[in-house]
Amino acid sequence: MEKKIGSVIIRLVRGDITKEETDVIVNAANTSLRGGGGVDGAIHRAGGSEILHECIKKYPEGCKTGEARITTAGRMAAKYVIHTPGPIWRGGQQDEERLLASCYRHSLLLAEKYGARTIAFPSISTGVYRFPIERASKIALSTVVENLPLTSIIEVHYVLFSISDYQIYEKNLQSTIKEEKGD
């Protein structure tokens, strides 16, 4: 599914983010920036050890939840990986929503700083970190749409691993665009 907001294309993709050919792919990392399971493991495997070496060298202190750091994408088609540790869901009273929005905003602005025109996001925090997908997808979509005018990004992909996640994003993309237009 694909929608246009102004001149920017928002595309929902089902599959594996490591195959994306966007300038940037975003990694749902942890604060150590030393790799892990899920999408983080897939990105490090596909990109190769260069990514981990750069993380260790450039970011010895790791990265705080809600912030973002950039490395090469190694062997993948993308130019860069932006690593952002999402919040662990602890019931919703621990600032989880603001921190998740912060991941999307920081990633978008860091991509802009590196001259990216296209970017692909996974569904941050909705796997091992258990953030409810319905709420997370609304935050993912609205935060990006709100911050796009601050960038020269022309294409945003949301890469969803499961059909059910894809369908939730599909429904919420429709409503985000309606709100944007003030319908």
Among 144, 159, 168, 173, binds ligand AR6 (CB under 6 A): 159
Indicate the residue among 7 and 161 with the shorter CB distance to ligand AR6: 161
Residue 165 falls in the annotated catalytic set: no
Q: Which stretch binds ligand AR6 (CB under 6 A): 47-55, 69-77, 123-131, 170-178?
A: 123-131
Q: Taking CB under 6 A as the rule, does residue 52 contact ligand AR6?
A: no
Nearest to 138 by CA among 180, 86, 173: 173
CA 176/CA 158 separation, integer angstroms: 14
Using CB under 6 A, which of the segments 33-41, 58-66, 70-78, 148-156 binds ligand AR6?
Answer: 33-41
Residues of this chain, 74-103, that bind ligand AR6 according to CB under 6 A: 86
Binding segment for ligand AR6 among 30-38, 53-61, 67-75, 134-142 (CB under 6 A)? 30-38
**Spatial distance between the Cα atoms of 109 and 158, rounded to a whole number of angstroms:** 17
Q: Would you say 152 and 6 are in contact if contact means Cβ atoms under 8 Å apart?
A: no
Q: Which residues contact 153 (CB under 8 A, 6 or more apart)?
A: 8, 108, 111, 112, 116, 117, 118, 119
Nearer to ligand AR6 among residue 38 and residue 62 (C-beta): 38
Q: Which residues are catalytic?
A: 40
